[in-house]
Structure 1
Amino acid sequence: MSDGARVIVGVSGSLHSLTALHRAAEEARERQATLVPVLAWTPVGGERNYRARPCPPLLRAWQDLADTRMDNALERAFGGLPIGVPVRPLVVRGDAGTVLTGLADRPGDLLVVSTGEQAGARTRLRRLTRRSVTRHCLDHARCGVLVVPPSTLHEDLRALHRGIDLRELVAA
């Protein structure tokens, strides 16, 4: 492994983040770096609401859920931890963009993020109320950022979900 090199990747458990996780593992292998998958979480309702009405048992339950999401993401992506690369998963309380750019603080780090969800009603509403994690990372990272587009399989899955015959996609 070269001089503590790290490839830090944002993980949420979505298909987009699993695609980014696979790409980050490839980059870590090529660079002989440590893969650092990061799942950032905040209390349901946000930090402000939690500070107004703290409940330590509930906070612990949310932490446990975040730990389980990380384990599930690694299981779905690799069947456990990826082989051939050192891995140091982190589950951190905080806003995803801030957590990722805070951790990727060395010039030799590589920060890997997915492009996130595609355009849709929920995404438009989210964009109005919340800034993109990807945009935050691009604007604030102190290291290289690799933005991973969705896998081509995502469109096939969307089509299947909408009830489109996959043979129509192949014939097109």
Structure 2
Amino acid sequence: MDAAETGRVVAGVSGSLGSLTALHRAAAEAHRTHGELWAVLAWEPPGGESGARHTLFPAQLDTWRTAAAGQLLEALDAAFGPAGPGVPLRRQVARGSAARVLVETADRCDDVLVVGAGHRGLLRPLFPSVARYCVAHARCPVLTVPPSPLERDWELAHRRNVWGLSLDAGSLDGDRRNT
């Protein structure tokens, strides 16, 4: 199979635990299909695009893009370590909203788009779901990956730590035993 025939598995990456879980699933899908993994991180200038139009220093845009590229490399290292994903990998950093960038990148009907479907709760009205947008607008199959069960436990432990509360490790789901 030559490069033109290789299927692409496009994964949205932000560095969050949910995106790392989705990245692992995307790598498994690329391995299963003998495809190429495209790790995509979308970035927007602080304050959004309207804020960027008012910046006095266009060089700041290069700084923000470089920071986004570093964030992608850190996420890939956190997910796979120095060994990498074990499949051909292409890294892409693109300016724009995550949902739009992912749908525009996964533009072939034989692509597979993999996104994390995290817990949004009260934030749903403020931050529209990238996964929902992708499912509604993508021209290829979209695989939404639920968060790891450990993510909820990590968030609980983090929240208790921030508030200075003690943490009973036995209360974490991963430590519960069905007897």
1:168 corresponds to 2:171: yes
Measured in 2, the distance between the counterparts of 1:131 and 1:152 equals 23
Task: Indicate the SS of the match to 2:90.
Answer: coil
Q: State TM-score, norm by structure 2.
A: 0.86
**For 1:82-117, what per-residue CA distance to the aligned partner results, in whole angstroms no more than 9, with x for missing partners?**
243000010111111110000111111000000134
Separation in 2, partners of 1:62, 1:44 = 9
Letter in 1 for 2:132: R
Q: In structure 1, what residue type is equivalent to 2:137?
A: H
Runs ≥4 residues deviating over 4 A: none
Determine what percentage of the aligned residue pairs are the same residue. 47
Aligned with 2:49 (options 28, 34, 47): 47
Deviation of 1:168 after TM superposition, in Å, equals 2.8
Question: Contact conserved, 1:159 with 1:165, CA < 8 A, in 2?
Answer: no
Partner residue of 1:59? Answer: 61
- 5 Å-filtered alignment, 1:101-116, equals 101-116=103-118
Q: For the structure 1 residues 56 and 139, does the alpha-carbon distance in structure 2 shift closer, same or farther, using more than 3 Å as the test?
A: same
Alpha-carbon contact 2:27-2:85 (below 8 Å) kept: no
Distance in 1 separating the partners of 2:87 and 2:18: 21
The answer to whether residue 130 in structure 2 is matched with residue 128 in structure 1 is no
| Change in CA separation of 1:88 and 1:45 when aligned onto 2, cut-off 3 Å | same
Alpha carbons of 1:80 and 1:118: their partners in 2 closer, same or farther (altered >3 Å)?
farther
Structure 1: stretches of 5+ with no match in the other structure: none
Aligned residues: 167
Residues 113-141 of structure 1 show CA distances to partners (whole Å, capped at 9, x for unaligned) of 00134425xxx2xx323321111101100
Q: Note the aligned Cα RMSD (angstroms).
A: 1.8
Is the radius of gyration larger for structure 1 or structure 2? Answer: 2
Q: Matched residue of 1:160: which SS?
A: helix
Structure 2 gaps of 5+ residues are 161-165
With structure 1 as the length reference, what TM-score do the two structures score?
Answer: 0.89
**Separation in 2 of the partners of 1:81 and 1:64?**
23
